[in-house]
Structure 1
Amino acid sequence: MSLLSLKNMKTQIGQYHVLHDITFDVPEGGVFVLLGRNGAGKTTTLRSIMGLWQPQPGSVVFKGRDISRLATADIARLGIAYVPENMGTFGGLTVQENLVLATAGGRFDQTRLQRIYTLFPALEQFWTKQAWSLSGGQKQMLAVARAIIEPRDLILIDEPTKGLAPAIVAAMGEAFREIAQDTTILLVEQNFNFARSLGRDMAVIDDGRVVHRGSMADFAADTDLQGQLLGLSA
């Protein structure tokens, strides 16, 4: 069963037609990776799913319900979280306060909080520090932690490894594997090695169109196709 299904989704921003008939299904469970060159339309796809940019003709179906005309807040309440490329943390608030804002009723479920401490120990260490004082990797951990502080069915994550040190990237990969055991992840990622280490299914977007869909294992084994669609080379 598909958790999320996009069919003929189009998005226009001002006079520009950015997405053209985007169609793919995200199965429930695991990590689905959305690949593509810079400017291909990956971020626009995530933002359109979240209702931040309103898709035009076409549909966005989540758990059997068309959400393409819902407001962003209503989409979030259905169980979708979004971690944007800029992380979206509140620099003047502490780690604790950033997480409180993402909870229901301003109270922590202690089991989920302990899970976050296990996944991202630095957040417990810097619990009372303002977010602006965190490193880039720690801010990314905080952004992901906000997405999972409440139960979610789907998390959209945009370029989580951008600018991070290899050790932080490796730690992030381990955290995503743990999260994906009970929450589906739709991941936009330029780091192909990171993406293929996590992804089960994938799609490639180019110039606002889906040009390839399939399993990550098959795509990772086809270096010619990687070069053709992503410009990658051995």
Structure 2
Amino acid sequence: MQRSELLQALDALLEPWRFKDYCPNGLQVEGRASVQRVVTGVTASAALIEAAIAVGADTVLVHHGYFWKNEDPRVIGMKKSRLARLLAHDINLIAYHLPLDAHPVLGNNAQLAAVLGLQVHGQTGEQNLLWHGELPEAITLEAWRQQAGDCLQRTPLTLGNPQALIRRVAWCTGGAQGMFADAVALGVDLFITGEASEPCAHIAAETGVAFAAAGHHATERYGVRAVGQHLADTLGIDVRWIDRDNPV
């Protein structure tokens, strides 16, 4: 299929115009006009680019692409090396950030809920990126930590009383620790995100609401994989998911 057709399908699915984002969504680096093999991954790292080259991909679709707001615009160092490899092999780089977090079925928040067995009640906050719901039954924070570790292949960092019972949950994948106070205001027992920062320990201690940092990469590997499978199912193109693990 043509690259333009793929982009039209992705835009129709993810509706990037609805979001005020920190990077351009859609085509970031132009490669071949004809698309035959797509590699999906979380981040357009050098390792993912090399893996895409190795399998003969002409397109890479990721959640974390390039050209972030306030980054150094110069094409030097690591940025030059990455772009040079994409351009030398005529590979398209397509990235969707917040639109891929927010999709109600295929997005990171929806897919994380499915992986962790969370029942979704609704979305709120800035651009509706803070999701909330509950566990099927109340369990201790420690029991949940162990279950989540089995699901994500990464044991979360948890803050709070390990024996406290939790059921009501809010979550936002990736680096959403700044939403912890908003989650507390929802009256939940636990807030789940990818990363932690220093204030999180104090908020957890002083409010009694537990906090879990389950990994930025670990919480965001599911959305782009689901979108890739959707493309394969609906458009009939060759899509290959490649996971380059990241401990953060």
TM-score by length of 1: 0.29
Structure scoring higher RCO (CA < 8 A, sep ≥ 6) equals 1
Larger Rg computed on CA atoms: 2
TM-score by length of 2: 0.28
